[in-house]
């Protein structure tokens, strides 16, 4: 094993991956390079927050597409992490024909691919919205299959799992798909190969060890598929219903829908500040309270489409305030605004928004982690952030894997 794992963090935001890994083991995980750049923004609030909270390592505020390959070739990366945008991953042959593939411009997953091609890390840990597994709507599963095939062609084995943070000890119902990839030459790959796919997904694999599940899938939802060898063929014609968990080895996909073994969460009330610490401007006045009552109430409204067609827009009702005895709902980037999705809590008979600190707590960040930026951006960044506690748990599993690893990054590169 290596005593230190060099980590590179892409699309770093305010540093949720790094914070979670350092909480897991700050002696093992050393972030050597991190990139955060928000296009079309003069003020780089997330980057400034990141550099305020972390001192070690190189902090890049450049468009990732402009960073030369030589940077990644020289970093000796062991673990690549990042929460990347969900985009259209369609591909086509390059103009030179068989010499390469061209991904759709602006798709940041291709930058992940470029980093992998130039550094060959042992491990990769990525996060995305769970709809990635079903996109695009007109060709279900294509985008995720393109990603899996990309990992296959770079000699990685992949596990994935959709995790609801509130089912594993967090205070927010936040569902995200996590993707863990590891080189097929690792000792860990050999150890996993003795188990059946069913055993790996439900008992012995990366996510089963980190987030335990029952040994039987939900409603017997298990399926397999072979990915075509040609990524262009996948992009053009492939469609498949991926379940919420799965394993891909050499292009063979085993996927299932596991069930949580023992759900436990932190109630929303446990992250609330004492009311004496709440700013007066967070409390709802009568006019705003009435607006929220309308937004959160049931409604049927006649609307007219762009082509003149009339239809009824229907929306079910939701509770006027959030249940503080249960976990919070999924926080969006619009949190703190007059929006149906915004959390509203009632304490001592008064209704109010969540404070920025309470939003940080919902995601497992320390209080005032984002205090370097205006409140509107604090809400926005927490709506984009991941739940730190989940990364901490996954980091602990990676430490356990690495403790039994004898293959070095240098040996991996020799096998490419």
Name the residue among 182, 159, 155, 185 with its Cα closest to residue 250.
155
Q: Give the pTM.
A: 0.94
Q: What is the per-residue pLDDT for 94?
A: 66
Q: What is the per-residue pLDDT for 14?
A: 97
CA distance 165 to 172: 6
Beta strands 123-129 and 299-304: pairing type? unpaired
Cβ neighbours around 263 below 10 Å, total: 12
Beta strands 5-10 and 79-83: pairing type? parallel
> One of 49, 86, 359, 381 is an active-site residue; which one?
86
User: 3-class secondary structure for 240-291?
Assistant: CCCCCEEEEECCEEEEECCCECCCECCCHHHHCCCHHHCCHHHECCHHHHHH
CA distance 133 to 245: 10
CA distance 359 to 382: 7
CA distance 185 to 3: 20
Q: Tell me the C-alpha to C-alpha distance, in Å, between residue 410 and each of 118, 403, 415, 416.
A: 13, 17, 9, 10
Are 255 and 339 contacting, i.e. CB atoms less than 8 angstroms apart? no
Find all residues with CB under 8 Å of 276, minimum gap 6, and list them.
none
Domains, the chain, with CATH or none = 5-262+387-414 (3.40.50.150), 268-384 (3.90.120.10)
Name the residue among 325, 375, 327, 384 with its Cα closest to residue 353.
375
Find all residues with CB under 8 Å of 199, minimum gap 6, and list them.
none
Backbone torsion region of residue 46, taken as left when φ is above 0, otherwise alpha when ψ lies between -120 and 50, otherwise beta: alpha
The helix (H) or strand (E) run that includes residue 149 is helix 142-153
- Listed as ranges, residues in the chain with pLDDT below 70 are 94-102, 105-106, 408-416
Q: What is the per-residue pLDDT for 88?
A: 76
Q: Taking the CA of residue 115 as centre, how many other CA atoms within 13 Å lie in the half-sphere pointing to its CB?
A: 29
Q: What is the per-residue pLDDT for 154?
A: 97
CA distance 378 to 334: 11
CA distance 381 to 402: 32
Q: What is the per-residue pLDDT for 97?
A: 52
Reported residue count of the chain is 416
Q: What is the per-residue pLDDT for 99?
A: 46
Are 223 and 244 contacting, i.e. CB atoms less than 8 angstroms apart? no
Q: What is the per-residue pLDDT for 106?
A: 66
Residues 313-346 have pLDDT tens digits of 888 999 999 999 999 999 999 999 999 999 999 9
Q: What is the per-residue pLDDT for 67?
A: 97
Cβ neighbours around 140 below 10 Å, total: 17
DSSP 46-86: HHHHHHHH--SSEEE-S-GGGS-HHHHHTS--SEEEEE---
Grouping H, G, I as helix, E, B as strand and the rest as coil, residue 301 is strand
Residues 145-189 have pLDDT tens digits of 999 999 999 999 999 999 999 999 999 999 999 999 999 999 999
Q: What is the per-residue pLDDT for 278?
A: 97
86 is known as an active-site residue = yes
Q: Taking the CA of residue 134 as centre, how many other CA atoms within 13 Å lie in the half-sphere pointing to its CB?
A: 7
Name the residue among 13, 16, 56, 8 with its Cα closest to residue 33.
8
CA distance 24 to 262: 22
The helix (H) or strand (E) run that includes residue 311 is strand 310-315
Cβ neighbours around 134 below 10 Å, total: 15
Cβ neighbours around 400 below 10 Å, total: 14
CA distance 56 to 89: 34
């Amino acid at each position: 094993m290596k005593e230190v794992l060099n980590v590179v963090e892409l699309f770093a935001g305010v540093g949720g991956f790094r914070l979670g890994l350092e909480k897991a083991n700050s002696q093992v995980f050393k972030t050597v390079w991190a990139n955060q750049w928000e296009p079309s923004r003069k003020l780089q609030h997330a980057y400034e927050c990141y550099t305020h909270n972390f001192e070690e390592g190189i902090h890049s505020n450049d468009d990732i597409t402009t960073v030369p390959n030589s940077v990644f070739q020289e970093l000796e990366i062991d673990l690549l992490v990042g929460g990347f945008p969900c985009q259209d991953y369609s591909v086509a042959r390059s103009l030179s024909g068989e010499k390469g593939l061209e991904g759709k411009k602006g798709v940041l997953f291709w930058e992940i691919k470029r980093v992998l091609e130039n550094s060959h890390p042992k491990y990769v840990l990525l996060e995305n919205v769970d709809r990635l597994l079903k996109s695009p709507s007109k060709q279900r599963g294509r985008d995720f299959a393109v990603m899996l095939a990309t990992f296959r062609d770079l000699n990685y084995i992949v596990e994935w799992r959709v995790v609801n943070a509130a089912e594993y000890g967090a205070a927010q119902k936040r569902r995200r798909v996590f993707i863990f990839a590891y080189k097929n030459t690792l000792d860990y790959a050999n150890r996993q190969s003795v188990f059946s796919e069913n055993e790996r997904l439900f008992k012995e694999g990366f996510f089963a060890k980190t987030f335990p599940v029952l040994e039987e899938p939900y409603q017997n939802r298990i399926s397999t598929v072979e990915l075509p060898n040609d990524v262009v063929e996948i992009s053009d014609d492939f469609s498949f219903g991926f379940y919420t968990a799965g394993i891909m080895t050499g292009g063979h996909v085993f996927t299932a829908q596991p069930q949580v073994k023992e759900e436990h969460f932190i109630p929303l009330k446990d992250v609330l500040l004492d009311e004496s610490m709440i700013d007066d401007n967070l409390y709802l006045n009568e006019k705003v309270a009435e607006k929220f009552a309308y937004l959160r109430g049931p409604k049927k409204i006649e609307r007219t489409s762009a082509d003149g067609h009339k239809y009824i827009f229907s929306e079910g009702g939701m509770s006027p305030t959030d249940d503080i005895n249960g976990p919070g709902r999924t926080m969006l980037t619009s949190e703190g605004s007059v929006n149906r999705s915004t959390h509203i809590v009632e304490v001592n008979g008064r209704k109010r928004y969540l404070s920025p600190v309470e939003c940080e707590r919902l995601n497992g960040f320390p209080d005032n982690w984002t205090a370097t930026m205006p409140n509107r951006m604090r809400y926005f960044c927490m709506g984009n952030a991941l739940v730190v506690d989940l990364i901490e748990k996954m980091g602990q599993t990676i430490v356990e894997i690495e403790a039994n690893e004898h293959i070095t990054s240098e040996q991996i590169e020799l096998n490419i």
